[in-house]
Amino acid sequence: MAGRIAVPPMAEEGSRALIPLDFVRGLFNTIEKPLIVAERNGNLLLVNTRAEQFVESHGYAITPGLNLFKDLLKTDARKIFEELEKGEHRLEHHFQIGGVKSTVLVQWMPGPDWLVVEIKSKSETQTGADPATQLTVQELLQEREITYRNLLAAYLKLQEVNRQKTVFLASAAHELKTPLAVIKGYYDLLLAGSLGRLTDKQRDILEESKDSCERLVRLVSMFLNYSALESGKLVLQLRENDLRDCLDELSKRWVEAFQRKSVKLDASFDPSIPTFRFDYQKVQQAAANLLDNALKHTPSGGTVTLRAAPHFWERRVAALAPVEERRRFRLPRPNSVEVSVTDSGPGIAAEHHQEIFEDFVRVDRNTSGMGLGLAIAKRLIQAHRGKIWVESESRGSRFTFLLPMDQG
């Protein structure tokens, strides 16, 4: 093909204008529709990018010598021109390429005796089908709007049901909290011998009853924490506290429960942990939930360890210190505290490592509980801008959470 295209005169006295072929191709490629310009004999003059993509997607390549009628449309040129010369300057022709039925619009330009072929996409072809079977754009938009409103109504209804459930749990927990505290107080008085001496059998019965009462107190406390978290009413009381005192107090409180099950509780806290701002009760509650979970899944004769130590937490969102300051210290300064609870139980399968921190999820159905302990622990730690995770293989599990020392 020559490097220039000769355009016929626009008027009788006009002369032919020579336009650079690259310029014409550039203009042709800006057209969004697949277009081909061919001579009367079927030789291709111009093929824009969209048409090339269409042809190549059906197993053909635009190569020199490719003929419009023989290779692409699979038809006799005379049939096309018979229709066009009758006065039909725009003809619709159906053909098959690469096993796919397609349609082209053929327009004849009598002056240069060229054919301009527009390839219609499948979606455009389908829209020309029976109008009774086609949805208009307006109908589709209306249908989507109706679906959206129905989904929104269902979502709001579920939210209201969930709110009512949370309110009910909170009310029930509040109603149970006071009488349980009174019952627990009487158990303490009886076991201390303040109301008279007890036989060994009486003491065993009271201790078992007190254990059940304490379990109910923990459930009530868990429900109260859950309702506060669900309603968004959780408020952290951030004060300068000693995490070692917090965890040491907790471990001493749990010693008796571990002894009753013949499970060893080994607590150890790094003395270099500095004081920092955190909610004493909330962190203690999170650690207590982890201890409770470990005790449930550790068999008699097993061991549970509670550890705490300074840790450097390199968070991606944290602002990096200047290069000079980072070079000054070979080892990064601890910016958080790592607390871990490790048990010698049966372990947790890898596929459950994420879902066990969700509400009301219980992997082991043989243990007691509501499946809220780990979920509450996760929310309490996240409220401190911390993170919590589990590591477990075939035997034993290690639950770890990080608390940033800078709570802002």
* pLDDT value at residue 134: 53
pLDDT per position as a tens digit, 136-164:
777 788 888 888 888 888 888 888 887 77
CATH 1.25.40.10, domain 239-315+332-404, yes or no: no
> Residue 333 pLDDT more than 80?
yes
pLDDT per position as a tens digit, 176-220:
777 888 888 888 888 888 888 888 899 889 888 888 888 888 778
Residue with tokens 């057209």: 31
pLDDT per position as a tens digit, 265-289:
999 999 999 999 999 999 999 999 9
| 93, 118 contact by CB (below 8 A) | no
> Residue 255 pLDDT more than 90?
yes
> Residue 66 pLDDT more than 60?
yes
* pLDDT value at residue 288: 93
pTM of the predicted protein model: 0.54
The one-letter amino acid at 379: R
Give the span between the Cα atoms of 41 and 83, in whole angstroms. Answer: 16
If one counts every other C-beta atom within 10 angstroms of the C-beta of residue 220, the result is 20
Give the span between the Cα atoms of 54 and 34, in whole angstroms. Answer: 7
Question: What is the bridge-based pairing of β-strands 387-392 and 90-97?
Answer: unpaired
Q: Which two tokens stand for residue 87?
A: 């006065």
Q: Under DSSP, is residue 338 helix (H, G, I), strand (E, B) or coil?
A: strand
Give the span between the Cα atoms of 225 and 246, in whole angstroms. Answer: 19
> Residue 315 pLDDT more than 90?
no
pLDDT per position as a tens digit, 348-361:
988 889 999 988 78
> Residue 388 pLDDT more than 60?
yes
* pLDDT value at residue 390: 95
> Residue 386 pLDDT more than 90?
yes
> Residue 407 pLDDT more than 80?
no
Percentage helix, strand, coil, to 5, in the chain? 45, 20, 35
Give the span between the Cα atoms of 376 and 353, in whole angstroms. Answer: 16
Q: Which CATH code is given to the segment(s) 21-121?
A: 3.30.450.20
Give counts: helices (H), strands (E), the chain.
10, 14
Residue 308 vs residues 72, 241, 257, 376, 387: alpha-carbon distances, Å: 75, 14, 21, 20, 15
